[in-house]
Structure 1
């Protein structure tokens, strides 16, 4: 994608990867609008980055999505980049009871929200000389984490949707790029500075370099072996991956 002269809307832009991307794009001189439900956090980020703007959005609410989409189109007619970044990552137990409200919330936030928001903005994006949709999935879209089974499944779904979306937009001015983060040291689950987590600044730097190319899928080199899932032999890979985390659990306190 072109890394300058854009008007960029980023969901979940008040913290973690979303904030990191927002600040990186802002430093390049792009017009950046961040969105989220927590106005205090949005205000904190925009105050720290003069010129960055924000709008409140409940990605779980179709009415909020439609209202925000219309506001964006009216207020920022040059809008040409959508970053579907907002997400939640609750733990669950696929071998036991799955709380229905938590499951629905995860599906709605991580998958239905990006689909709804893109749908609300797609005709506007197609009217621009060049546009980009960036979907934030996860390495867990390819190698699921058993303790976050529903989350992993939502990211696999968004990856699949991105593949279809890219094909159907092939004859338009809209391109689709997917970023698939590894474990990054953010507060998505718990920011504990575990040495296995990739530092946020290093992830953002490598991801921005990837976005500056025409590659449809941006991944950091550290996770390439997991991305290159060995097809029909994936069962052993996934078992071994999850067993390693059982043997060396992620600290949560």
Structure 2
């Protein structure tokens, strides 16, 4: 992927990893469009980087994703890079009865359905522009963490989906990249201790590793601890699964009485 002169759409770009990537791509002389669920977060992102073009969209709502794709294709037909970054993580104890079935599956709706629908609706445009699709999975796509069972399963889905997508599109001139971050210092990981098992990267460190991976043409970018999880999942799966379960035990909600 070339790093300059693109028009890039980043879902979930109003905070965290998405916003950090957005600001870096602007710095590298790209036009960047971001989505976010709330106007307040989009306005805050805009105040940090005025060059960003903002679109309010809930990544779990098929109608909103459809309307977003129609708007982008009409207003920005030269958009050639899609970064599927929107995602949520919820710590869960599966022994507890969910408060609502809708809430219980929101990680599936955003992380899985949102990525699949967004990719499908923008695929013809990306193919026409011989562009790039970057799907953000996680180091937890390779090793499940006990305290986030649904999140980890959704990220394993994204890993598999991205691999299949890459092979389907390799003859169409579309590059497909997977970015699998480790724990990154954002609101999503606020409860993780920095002196524990988790080696937490800053967003700046993650962005630096991502740009380096894209520059070198990597199809799977696994910065920091994510590369270790990926390797150990193949060499010592039982060991690393138990190690991660022990490290995350304190973050799982207690069983309701």
The 1:193–1:207 alpha-carbon spacing in structure 2 relative to 1, beyond 3 Å, is farther
Residues 139 and 225, structure 2, Cα contact 8 Å, conserved in 1: no
Displacement, 1:244?
2.9
Alignment of 1:127-146 (within 5 A): 127-128=128-129, 130-146=130-146
Partner of 1:20: 20
Displacement, 1:102?
2.7
Displacement, 1:125?
0.9
Ranges of 4+ aligned residues in structure 1 off by more than 6 Å: none
Partner of 1:44: 44
Alignment of 1:151-166 (within 5 A): 151-166=151-166
Partner of 1:103: 104
- In 1, the alpha carbon distance for the partners of 2:233 and 2:40 equals 45
Deviations 1:118-147 (A, max 9, x none): 10010111111x301000000000011110
Candidates 179, 197, 204, aligned match of 1:201: 204
Partner of 1:226: 229
**Greater Cα shift, 119-128 or 234-243:** 234-243
Residues 35 and 56, structure 1, Cα contact 8 Å, conserved in 2: yes
**Greater Cα shift, 173-182 or 86-95:** 86-95
Displacement, 1:38?
1.0
Paired residues, what number? Answer: 249
CA RMSD of aligned residues (A): 2.0
**Greater Cα shift, 90-99 or 206-215:** 90-99
Displacement, 1:20?
0.4
Residues 147 and 252, structure 2, Cα contact 8 Å, conserved in 1: no
- In 1, the alpha carbon distance for the partners of 2:48 and 2:240 equals 43
- In 2, the alpha carbon distance for the partners of 1:221 and 1:194 equals 14
Partner of 2:116: 115
TM-score, scaled relative to structure 1:
0.92
**Greater Cα shift, 62-71 or 220-229:** 220-229
Deviations 1:173-192 (A, max 9, x none): 21110100101100124267
